[in-house]
Structure 1
C-alpha cells in the first residue's frame, strides 16, 4: 500500500511539472480554434463514474460544445486520460489563487460542473468574481464532513453562489434547505443510469462462458486481501459443490496477481492465459468487471474490510445477490440494500458459504432479482433530471462556444 501511495504521489508531482506550458500546447491541439469550453471537475475515478452519465448526455445533445475534464487524483487521470467523451483531459492545477486564475484564463470555461464534494473555495471565488456559472452534482455530505460543523458556516455560505446544487438523498436536501439554500434539488445518483445502461449493453464474453460452462459462479469484484482470504477458506468446499470462482482484484499489477495465485495454491488461471485450467479465474486487466457480473450467481464486493466498499450498483444492475464486508454505511445505496435485505454483510467465511448456498435456490434468487430490479427502476433518472435543470445554461454555453 505504501508503494502504491508513493507511486500516486510521484505521478501527482510529475503530472504538474511544466503544467501550464503542457496544458496550453494540449489545448491548442485538442480544442478547435481555441474555443471556450464546459469545464467538468472530478476528484478521482469514482467521481468520474458519477459524472460520466451527465458528460455523455451533454455530449450527445451538444456535440459542438468542447468539454474540458480535470482530475485531482493521478489514479483517476491515468486511467481516463484518453477518455473520448471529453475534448481535453488534464489535472486540476491547485486551488492557489494565482494558479486557478491562470488555469481559467487558459481554458476559458463558459460554465463549470463539480462532481460530488470537491469544494475548492479559491476556485469558487474566482468563478463567482468572473460571473462564470457553476453547479455541484451528486452531492452527499456525510454527517462528519467539515462543512456540517457550525464554525464552518462562512465557507458553507459561499456555496450559495452556485447556480445549483444537486444532492443524492433527502437528508442532504433538508440540510441545505435548513441553511437557507434556495437552488438545491434532490436528483439521486447518476451512476444508476450508467450501470443500467451498461447492463443492457453487456456483450457475451466467450472466455468466461467457456470457463464457467454453465456452473454457478462467485465473482469477487475489486477484492482486497480480506475478501481473498474469506474465499480461500471455502474455495475447496465451493468447488466441490460445482462452483466456479472469478476474482477481480482492486489492483492488477503483477505483484498483486502473483500474491493472489499463491493464496489459492495453484488452483488459478488468468483471464489472459491461452488455456484456462482450474476452477478459479483471476482477471488480469481492467475494464471487464462491470460486464462480467452478468455471469455471477453471487457477487462479493471488495473494500468492506478497509476504507469502504467499492461499486455495488454494477452487480445490482444485473439483479444478482450481493454481499460485502462491514464497512459500508457511508454508501447510500449499500445501506439501502442491507436495510431492505437486498445485500448481506459477511464477516466470516461461514457467512459467505451460507450465502453462496442460498443462491442455489431458484425461488430465492428470482425474488431477489425482482426486488432489486424494482429498487433500481425507482432510483433511476438522475441524469435526465439534472440535464433538464442545467439545459438553459448549457445551451447558452454551446451557442457562445461556436461564435
Structure 2
C-alpha cells in the first residue's frame, strides 16, 4: 500500500509543477484548493447523501441517467458528484441535476478520512473505471453501500495479474458490481466474486435521452440545404487529413467537422485545404451565404449530438491516437460510422463493426471504399442505418436495472 500512496504523492507533485505552465494542470490544482472547507460549508450535517464519482466527462455522461433517475424517484437524497479531471469538472460544474459538484481530493489516507467524515455518504457509486484504494477501504470500514456501474473488465487488467492483490481487495468494497458484458462477469467469477450483475452500459440510455431531446440547429439545417450531410465528430489531425481528401473527392456532399480541441492552427489548415469553401460556425450569422461552401467547422461545444440528427453518415475521431471517442451519439441517430484503427477497447464499436454498421479504416483508400457504396446506394444506406439504430435500441435499460437493484437492497 505504501507504493500506492507514494505514487499518488509523486503524481500530485508532478501536477503542481506542471501547473506553472499548463492550464489543465493549473485547474486541477486550483480546483482542490480549500476543498475540505468548501465541502464542509456546502454539505449539511443531517443530509442523506448519494455520492457519485466520475473520472471525467465521458464517465459523467455514463452516470448521468442514474443521477437524473435518482433525482426524480428518490428526492429524499442529496446528490454529490465528484470529478477527478478538469476536463469534466469545468464543463459540468454547474450541472443542475446534482446538489453538490466538487473535485475529488487526491486519495491519500488522511484525505480519504477527511472527505468521508464531511460527506458521510449513505450510498457511493463509482462509474466505470475509478478504483481509489484509500477511499474504497474507508467506505468498506464504515459500512457504506458502495457500487460500481458500467464497469468492464479485461483479462489483461491489473486485477488478474499476480501483483494485483491490492486491487482485488478493493473490489471487495462493492456491494454489487454492475458490468457491461458477460466476459466481465466470468472474469470476476474466476476471482470468487458472485455479486456481479450484467446490466449493460448506461451510455445507451444517455444517448437515447440526447436523441429524444435533440435541438433544432437552424444554421446547420440551412447549411445542409437540399443536399446530404456528413458529420465528423471529435476529430484529430490524422482524422482530418483523411476527411479533407474525402471532402475534395465528393463535391456533392457537405461536411460538418467538430474538432476535439479548438486548435486555431489545425482549424486554419483544415479550412485552407478544403476545396469549395469553408466557414466556422461561430462566425456565421443568419445572413451567411452557404452557396459556395463545402465545410462547416463546428468550433463550439454542446451542439455535436444534435448536429448528428441532420447527417446521413458519420466519422468519429481519435482512432489514430489513444482511442476513438463516442460512437453511440452518432449510431443512435441511425448513422453508419467510420473511425480509425484504435477501437478494440470499446465494446460498442466492436459490436457495430461486427454488425456491419461501422467500419475501421487505416488509410484514405479504406475510408473511400467504405463511403462510396453508402453514398451511391440508397438501399444499402437505409439498411446500414437501421442496423445502427436497432443496436442502440436493444442495449437500453441499464439505468433501470441499476437503480432498482440499489434501492431494492435497502
- Map 1:98-247 onto structure 2 (within 5 A): 98-239=110-251, 242-247=252-257
Which of 17, 25, 48 is the equivalent residue of 2:33?
A: 17
Deviation, structure 1 residue 154 = 4.5
Q: CA RMSD in A?
A: 2.1
Paired position in structure 2 for 1:340? 355
- After the TM superposition, which of the residue ranges 65-74 and 151-160 deviates more from structure 2? 151-160
d(CA) in 2 for partners of 1:234, 1:194: 31
Paired position in structure 1 for 2:55? 43
- After the TM superposition, which of the residue ranges 212-221 and 373-382 deviates more from structure 2? 373-382
Aligned length: 387
Deviation, structure 1 residue 292 = 0.9
Does structure 1 retain, via aligned residues, the 8 Å contact 2:271–2:295?
Answer: no
Note the alpha carbon deviations across 1:32-89, whole angstroms, 9 max, x for none.
x762311000111111111111111111111231100000011111111111111111
Which of 268, 292, 308 is the equivalent residue of 2:278?
A: 268
Q: Taking structure 1 as reference, are residues 256 and 22 closer, same or farther at Cα in structure 2, changes over 3 Å only?
A: farther
Note if 1:370 corresponds to 2:386.
yes
Note the alpha carbon deviations across 1:12-37, whole angstroms, 9 max, x for none.
11112222223333x15xx6x76231
Does structure 1 retain, via aligned residues, the 8 Å contact 2:317–2:340?
Answer: yes
Does structure 2 retain, via aligned residues, the 8 Å contact 1:301–1:310?
Answer: yes
Note if 1:53 corresponds to 2:53.
no
Paired position in structure 2 for 1:399? none
Deviation, structure 1 residue 365 = 1.4
Provide the TM-score with structure 1 as the length reference: 0.91
Note if 1:292 corresponds to 2:319.
no
Deviation, structure 1 residue 161 = 3.1
Does structure 1 retain, via aligned residues, the 8 Å contact 2:248–2:275?
Answer: no
Gaps of 5+ in 2: 1-17
d(CA) in 2 for partners of 1:254, 1:22: 36
Paired position in structure 1 for 2:7? none
The structure showing larger relative contact order (alpha-carbon pairs under 8 Å, at least 6 residues apart) is: 1
Which of 324, 338, 347 is the equivalent residue of 1:323?
A: 338
Q: After TM superposition, what 4+ stretches of structure 1 lie above 6 angstroms from structure 2?
A: none
Does structure 1 retain, via aligned residues, the 8 Å contact 2:236–2:318?
Answer: yes
- After the TM superposition, which of the residue ranges 9-18 and 183-192 deviates more from structure 2? 9-18
Provide the TM-score with structure 2 as the length reference: 0.89
Deviation, structure 1 residue 142 = 3.0
Gaps of 5+ in 1: 397-403
